[in-house]
Structure formats: C-alpha cells, structure tokens
Copies of this chain bind each other. A is one copy, B any other.
C-alpha cells in the first residue's frame, strides 16, 4: 500500500503530533473540539514526507503530489471554491509545523492561489479591489522572499519608493492602484508562477527546505532538537485579518503569559495578517483592547481559550483572526512561559482542579526555573531610568552594548557580559541571544520574536522601548540627547521593563509562596534526595533555604584559597622537610576547624559530605611566568636574590605537571603526604565535637576520599582516617562514615571491590567525563565542544548534560557492581550534572539515592527529580538521613 503522506484536518488528532507536527495535530484537534465553522479547513503533509524528501536529497516522495491534489479537491469541495478560480478563488496558507514549536524559524506563504486573473475575480467577488491587490502584493512578496530567496530589502525598497512617489507614509495608505504598481514592480525581479498548483508545490518544497536552513538548524542546536524529525506542512484555507477595519489578526494566551495570572493576554493588530503581529515590525495592541474593538468576538475568544485549556490541560498560546467581524481560530499550542508564570499556572491549575499535582508539576520546564534565580535591580538603590519598555523576559542584566548577533557571539564568547540592542530581532539573531546576558529592543511587544526567544532561553529582555532609537548604520542608540555607542555600559531589568546606564546593584531573588508550594509538592513526589555543594557557611545557609537535605560536597581546598590561608598553604607545600610541613599544617588546622564549625552549625542533623584535599598542590603556588620574569630580571641585574628565586622556581617547577588533571591529586596526595589528610580529619573531628558540645547536635559526617582508582588506595587511607578520628574521639558509624568519589573509569569497573571499603559512593561526573571521554574541560570547552556541536558530533556539551552512552554507562556499571556487594551502599552525584534536569532524570533511572548541586540550582533539581519520578517511578524513595 502506498504511504499516506497527506491527512485532512478532520483525520488528525493531538496523538498524531509526531506525524503531523505540533501545528497540524493542534489544528486537527481544534477542528474536532470547536467544529469546522471556527477552524478554516485544510490538510497536513506529514513529517515523514519531509524526512523522505531530505533523505532523497530534495526529491519529493512518490505519490505525494497526487495526494496533495486529492486533498486540495476535498478542500475545494468543502469550501465551495476552487484554487485559481478566476471568478471566486480559494486562497490557502502554507505553513511549517514541526513536532515542537520553533517560533519564526521556518517559512510560511500566505494568500497562495492568486494570479492576475484570480485577483481580479477576488476583487469582483469581495467588491474590494484594494484588499485583493494587497493580498496579491503580499503573495508575490512572500513567495519571492521565501520560495525564491529574493532578499527582503528589495521589496522594502520598492515599497518605500512607491510611498514617496505617492506622497504617503503608511502601508495602509497605499491604494489599489499603488498596490498594483507595487506588484508589477515586484514581478520585475520575482519569477512568479501564475499556476496556483505550481505555487503550492513550490511552497511545500520551500517549507521542507527551511527545515535544514541555518536558522532552524541553529535553533535546534540550542534547544537540543534532533534534525531527523523533519517538519510537517499545513495547507489551510485563508481567512483575512487584513480585510478592512473590522478584521484583525492576533495571538492570545489562555492566561497572562508573563505572570501566569488568570486573565488571557496577548496582542492583536487591526486590518493586518498574522505575520505582522509576531514579526514585531508594527507594535500591536494589547489583547484586552479587543473587548472594546469587538466585544462579541472577545467573549467568544475568551470562552474558546477556557475550553482549549481544559481540553489540553495546559496553558495555551493561540493564533486567531477576525474576518469582517467573524472569529476564526488558526492554531493552538502549549504556551511558552517564564518561570513565574509556569509556577503560577501549575498552582492555579491544581487549585482549579484542572490538573493533579503530578500533572501540574509536569507542565513546568525545570530548566527554565533558572530564570527565577537571576537577580533583579535592587529596588532600594538610586539610579536614573533613562527609558522604559515592555517587561518581556524577567531578570536584570548589565553589560556592554553590542548591536549585532555576530558582535554578541564574538564578544560574549570572550567572557564579556554583553547586551544585545536591536530595533527588533529576527530568527537570524538567535545565536546572539545565547551569547548575550540580556536583550533590548525598541520595537515589538510581549509576543515579539525578541520576547519569545529571550524567555525561551532565560535571558532578561526589555522590548518595545519606544524612546530608544537604534541606528544600526552608525552603531548608535539614542535616547533623547543621550547617545550610546558600541561597548558602552547599560543595564536592563526585564522584570520591570526599566533601562539605565547606572551600575545598579542587583539583588538575589527570593522564592515566593507559590514556588514554595510547588517545591513542597515536588518534595512529596520525588524519589531521590537533593543536597547542595557548599564549602563555606554562607553557602550552607543558602542551601538550607533552598531546600538542601544536607551537603553533598564540601570542597575543603576552597578553604585554603582564602587570603589568610594561602601563604600558609604555600609554606606547607614549599617546606623542605616534614618538620616544616607539619608546622605549617599546625597553623592551618584551627582555621580549617573554624570553617567546619560554621558549616556544621548550619547543617546540624543533616548529612555533610566532606571531601579531603583534591587538587594538585601546585595550584596553590605562585604564577610560574611571574616568577620567571623576576628571575630573568635578577639575572640581568646580577641580583643577590637570584639564587633564592631560582630555587623557588625549581620547587614550583618540580611540582608542575604536564597533565595535572591526571597527576598528583586526590587520594594520591593522601598516599604521598599523609600528614595533610591527617590534619584535615583532625580539624573535622574537632569541629564536629565542638559543635555537638555547644548545641547537643552535630551533622552526620561523611568523609570522602577523592579520585580513588585502586581498592588498596581506599583501604590504606581509610585506615588512617579511622585512626586519626579515633584519636580525636569521633565514633565510626555513629558520628561518621567513610566513602569515596567515583570519578575515574577504573573505579567504575572495580566498583565491587571498592564497595568493600566504602559506606558511600559519590559520582564525580565532571572528572568522570574528563577521563571517560578524554576531555580536559579547561581545554575543550573553548574550542572543541562548540565545533563538535556544530558538526553534530555531540548534541550538547557533555559537561552540561551527562553523556549517557559513555559516561552514563560507566555510572550504570558502577552502580550495578557496587550494589552487587553492598545493598545499602549510599549512592550520590556531586558533579555539576547534579543540577541539570536532563542528567537528574538519568540519575533517577540509574538508581542513585541523591543528587548534589550548587545552592541556586536546588529548586530546579527538586522539580526535575519530581518530574523524573512522575515520568518513571522507581517505587523506591530515598529517605533523607536526618539524625
């Protein structure tokens, strides 16, 4: 049987998303739900057809054209009109529609079916010659641009010339004659096919081709979508938002798209087509003004939005058109929303009994919650607001001005904070969003491209700042008298829409009551624990505030980096003999003890996992090049200090390693220099006992030995730790346990042997990624990984989300082998992956007991852990070990 490539809207449903794309299945579902009188008819060409087309290097699959013809006939029958009919032509739109929405990334052609004759027919039938020619003009322009690749500026230039010639300034002032002239001018450089069938097939190809266009590919990279999905194509009968003053086009969210509040929100533009609204070229009107403009249509729309939301059990983002007073729904999809809106929707939807708790949690994009964490302008600070715009994407950002996406990538990639300032943004600017810390535009509303993309990426954005004049040629932004240039400082707050050139202090966010509620639900549902990586008391306190069930990683070396510690640490390392080393260690001991006491106070009753010294010693030593410069100068000056400097240099050099990541660090330090770990264990024990004595309670200590590769390393160091702890009066089992980080491939492979000497494993997935893939993070993130993403070798940096096939396989092996000898082995992860939702899902499935992440990522981790449990419950909940 021949493959079915084409489905009428009445044949589809929401379950067919993979085949029909988000838009196609949405329209089909909406047709079922609202009836054909509210949804213009049409059909969908499947994503499979697109894949077949790609695989055949641009040859349309057999049978497709035939099936399109049949579906078109059915549509003509239902509409009572024929495509290209000179008397009363059927017009259609051709739109892309992938499995998930990729706003503005792919191509669309509207008003398809017109030519000289049918335009005349349309004019006669509607009695509106201007409307007919506006449609035709638009078709030739879009077809020329989208299908034939004629640059947009050539059309804009003609429009501008004709406007000047006719002495008008607005597009709407152009009359039928002017539009005729414009169309004729366009056709001098657009090889426009008169045959509507040819128009249709060419447009379908253009949509398929746009799937592999640079913009779409770049968008999928950033959003981690596979190229192999392909896009569907939707052919739909046109309705006209540009059919005079009683027509409009708009986008409507079922709730407030910024706050999640209960009232619908959105934008609309009278006498315009849909593309005008989302492009941001004209600033649209707020959706609420629709009530004044056409109350009946507004009521009907409000009702439809409720109905759609109840049906889809999620907040909806719709497109609608009012044609001469009559409402049509063109599209519906789950609304992208900023974190606070997502949280509010989840809470409200549960309270409205729309969703269960689990369903409500599942609607939240955990990663997007990051947007709740960037700071905002300090409301108590004094600063001068130089302009205001639309609060388009929450969070504040400060940085240097750049005017193009290329500049943003070049300068933002260097580590400079840059703000991308544009009149409006287009799909081509997406890479610039990623590189910038914030986005500012002079045009466009909450539904503009800039706003949508910024929210999607969690970048603060202010849009439609009308007082701002952006001159791309001069690379200037003017606000009244003030002229800002490339590289000037600017600050924006996307939560409030304010703009300033003062260096405003930023304040940390707080977790509001709704978010707290959501997190509490997540805590009820999740099956793995959540701990924090924290090295100093202030981090521990913040971690507790964000819900940490203990500390999963305390990096004791951070305590040695402080200004008062480093010289002592350096003296210890440079000491010529054991006596000198012990002396320096004796000085460090009380300092480290004091740090631990602060940490333990904050975490009384909770587990605290302390990693003994991990990094290579030379990290604490002076910069080699600086020292070398001193030596060269001393040589030239014949300075008496030369000998001393040279011997210092020799010592520093002798500690230098070719590949420090694979050198003398972790447990190897513990084996080579037992006195360091001894001091640390003494400080830990004394701190714990001091805290217990003061407050009657101490944390449950977990002493962690890093970088173990061999069973006997752990056995040896464990025995020494035990002995020192015993000397200090700390009781093994009751007061503390000993475990190890699993961060080398060998450790994973011999996890069964290691488990015999460990109370717990904590996966150090950063190091495991480095060794497992052979990727030095310091070296590969600057060059190799971006290139690898580009070349599709990896989808995303393995340091961002765990590499499941390789590093994840090592984790699975270690879990299996470790638990095979010790059923109660506690398993956690303390790399940065512990705060990444995609990785958390993996760790949940791999059977880990907890994840540990930076305090700011805790809310995300709690939500992600709950979502993992909702999606695939293990039925085994890790109870946090509170004493």
- A-side interface residues toward B, CB under 8 Å? 625, 628-629, 632-633, 636, 657-664, 668, 671-672, 707, 709-710, 712-713, 716, 743-746, 749-750, 753, 767, 770-776, 778-780, 783-784, 787-788, 791-794, 803, 805-807, 809-810
The distance in angstroms between the C-alpha atoms of A787 and B664, with both chains bound, is: 12
Chain B residue at smallest Cβ distance from A662: B776
CB nearest to A775 among chain B residues? B662
B residues less than 8 Å from A743 (CB atoms) = 774
**What residues of chain B lie closer than 8 Å to A775, measured between beta carbons?**
662, 709
* Nearest 6 interchain pairs by C-beta: A746-B806, A662-B776, A659-B776, A663-B779, A745-B745, A658-B778
A793–B767 Cα distance when bound, in Å, is 22
Which residues does chain B contribute within 8 Å of A771, judged by CB atoms? 662, 745, 771-772, 774
> A772, B784: Cβ atoms under 8 Å?
no
Inter-chain contact B783/A664, CB cutoff 8 Å: yes
Residues of chain B lying within 8 A (CB to CB) of residue A792? 712
Contact indicator A745/B662 (Cβ below 8 Å): no
Q: Is the CB of B806 within 8 A of A662?
A: no
Q: Are A664 and B779 in contact, CB atoms less than 8 angstroms apart?
A: yes
How many chain copies?
2
Are B633 and A744 in contact (CB-based, < 8 A)?
no
A770 with B658: CB separation less than 8 A: no
B710 touching A794 by the CB < 8 A rule? yes
| Closest chain B CB from A556 CB (angstroms) | 20
Q: Do B636 and A806 have beta carbons less than 8 Å apart?
A: no
Which chain B residue has the least Cβ–Cβ distance from A770? B662
Contact: A672 with B710, CB < 8 Å? no
Measured between beta carbons, the chain B residues less than 8 angstroms from A776 are 657-663
Contact among B668, B709, B787, B809 with A672 in the assembled complex (CB-CB below 8 Å): B787
Known: A633-B632, A746-B803, A784-B672. A774 touches B709 (CB 8 A): yes
A602 to B719 Cα, complex, angstroms: 58
Q: How far is the CA of A750 from the CA of B672 in the complex (A)?
A: 35
A776–B656 CA distance with the chains assembled, in angstroms:
12
> Can you show 16 pairs from A to B with CB atoms below 8 A apart?
A628-B632, A632-B632, A662-B774, A662-B775, A663-B779, A671-B787, A709-B774, A710-B788, A710-B793, A710-B794, A743-B774, A744-B772, A745-B745, A749-B810, A771-B771, A771-B774
Contacts of A770 in B (CB 8 A): 659, 662
Contact indicator B661/A713 (Cβ below 8 Å)? no
Q: Report whether A806 and B749 are in contact in the complex, using a CB–CB cutoff of 8 Å.
A: yes
Tell me if A671 and B779 are in contact (CB < 8 A).
Answer: no
Q: Which of A707, A749, A774 has the most CB of B within 10 A?
A: A774
Q: Does A773 lie within 8 Å of B787, measured CB to CB? A: no
Set of chain B residues within 8 Å of A773, measured between Cβ atoms: 709, 744-746
Q: Which chain B residue lies CB-closest to A749? A: B809
Assess whether A672 is in contact with B783, with CB atoms less than 8 Å apart.
yes
- Do residues B657 and A778 form an inter-chain contact, with CB atoms below 8 A? yes
In the complex, what residues of B have CB within 8 A of residue A628's CB? 625, 628-629, 632
In Å, the complex CA distance between A743 and B772 comes to: 10
The residue on B at minimum CB distance from A745 is B745
Q: Determine if B629 and A806 form an interchain contact, defined as CB atoms under 8 angstroms apart.
A: no
B671 touching A778, Cβ below 8 Å: no
Contact assessment for A661 and B664 in the assembled complex, using a CB-CB cutoff below 8 Å: no
Q: A632-B632, A659-B661 are in contact. Are A716 and B668 (CB under 8 A)?
A: no
Chain B's nearest CB lies how many Å from the CB of A153? Answer: 31
Q: Compute how far the CA of A793 lies from the CA of B746 in the bound complex, rounded to whole angstroms.
A: 14
Partner of A712 from the list B636, B664, B749, B793 (CB cut-off 8 Å) is B793
Question: Do B660 and A774 touch across chains, with their CB atoms under 8 A apart?
Answer: no
Are A750 and B805 in contact, with the CB atoms below 8 A? yes
Find chain B residues with CB under 8 A from A662 CB: 659, 661-662, 770-771, 774-776, 779-780
Residue of B nearest to A809 (CB): B749
CB of A39, distance to nearest CB on chain B (Å): 42
A657 touches B779 (CB 8 A): yes
A659: min CB distance to chain B, Å: 4
| Chain B residues with CB below 8 A from A658, complex form | 660-661, 776, 778-779
Shortest beta-carbon distance from A797 to chain B in Å: 13
Q: Which residues of B contact A783 (CB under 8 A)?
A: 664, 672
